[in-house]
Structure 1
Amino acid sequence: MMFDKLKYHLKSTKPLDIIIIAVLLLGSFLPHVVYGMQLSQVDENARIIATVSISGEEVYSVELSEETPHEEFTLNPSENQYNIIEVDGTRIRNKEDNSPDQLGVRRGWISQPGETAVVLPHELIIEIETRSPDGEKIDQEDDIIIPM
């Protein structure tokens, strides 16, 4: 019975179907390739900065490096909301909060430029970005051009 269905699907599959599936499968890896290219273009002298924003307003910023001390602090986006943010050297995370789905907590540690952790009910975003040694933000989106 199962083999009959398999034979039917194999007979009804056309060569173009296989080509389309292969192209879509390869295309699904394109974001990973672009992200890898962005990481490889980060200057050795660039500073990696983590910023924490609530409702679009930056409330905390720290450089992530081996010399960055371990730190935990609590942010209260509103009266009945809290987020415990933990910084540990080259990484940062939303350690604990009282949001219903816990997506920000489950995201775990982030440390690479371009990574984010988001807590939508609290409107809290932790973002990793690179800055030049003099403190100017390096816009990584302009570095890569993908022809269509």
Structure 2
Amino acid sequence: MFDKLKYHLRNTKPLDVIIIVTLMLGSFLPHVVYGMQLSQIDEDAQIIATVSISGEEVYSVELSEETPHEEFTLKPSKKQYNIIEVDGTRIRNKEDNSPDQLGVRRGWISQPGETAVVLPHELIIEIHAESPDGEKIDQEDDIIIPM
């Protein structure tokens, strides 16, 4: 075992270490950016959850302590269904009949920028923040690349 370690240490070059450390530090960059975005949201901002099917918004609700608990069923097609549950400051895809159940396993979401996706049903639950005057607070700039 120590022979393998000595072999790897002998063959490791200084630039290899720099590259590995840089990649490890870079892997935390998305977490830092997301944290900075959350810290820029005002306390008086409204947290809004929207549910879309095939890109068309079918439901929207403000997530707050006063939001009542509710469950409702969405049917993207005749053979598909999704049971969506809203509970105060959080929302989830409680049940559906998709084969992989990724949307159900995602669980509760409550922070701006979080999403739950059910690809077979083309259903997306997104959370974003809006200023008190109803203007959406951009989490990130949309980039449109012409084809």
Alignment partner, residue 4 of structure 1? 3
CA shift for structure 1 position 44: 1.1
Aligned-partner Cα distance in 2 for 1:6–1:140: 45
Deviations 1:15-68 (A, max 9, x none): 111111000000000000000000000011110000000000000000000000
- Runs (5+) with no aligned partner, structure 2: 142-147
Matches for 1:29-108 after TM superposition, within 5 Å: 29-108=28-107
Structure 1-normalised TM-score?
0.93
Deviation of the 1:6 alpha carbon: 1.3
- Quote the Cα distance in structure 2 between the aligned partners of 1:81 and 1:3: 57
Q: Percent identity?
A: 89
User: Over residues 62-106 of structure 1, what are the superposed CA-to-partner deviations in whole Å (9 max), with x where a residue is unaligned?
Assistant: 000000000000000000000000000000000000000000000
TM-score (norm 2): 0.94
- Structure having the larger proportion of residues in strand: 2
Point out the more displaced range, 13-22 or 51-60: 13-22
Q: What is the distance in 2 between the residues matched to 1:137 and 1:23? A: 35
**Structure 1 partner of 2:145:** none
For residue 9 of structure 1, what is the amino acid of its counterpart?
H
Match of 2:135 in 1: 136
Structure 1 counterpart of 2:25: 26
Deviation at 1:7, TM superposition (A): 1.1
- Whichever residue aligns with residue 119 of structure 1, its letter is V
Secondary structure of 2:43's counterpart equals: coil
Structure 1, unaligned runs of 5 or more: 143-148
Aligned-partner SS, 2:33: helix
> Equivalent residue for 1:13?
12
CA shift at 1:4, angstroms? 1.5
Tell me by how many angstroms 1:140 deviates.
2.1
More displaced 10-residue stretch of structure 1: 128-137 or 46-55: 128-137
The number of equivalent residue pairs is 141
Q: Distance in 1 between matches of 2:119 and 2:70?
A: 23
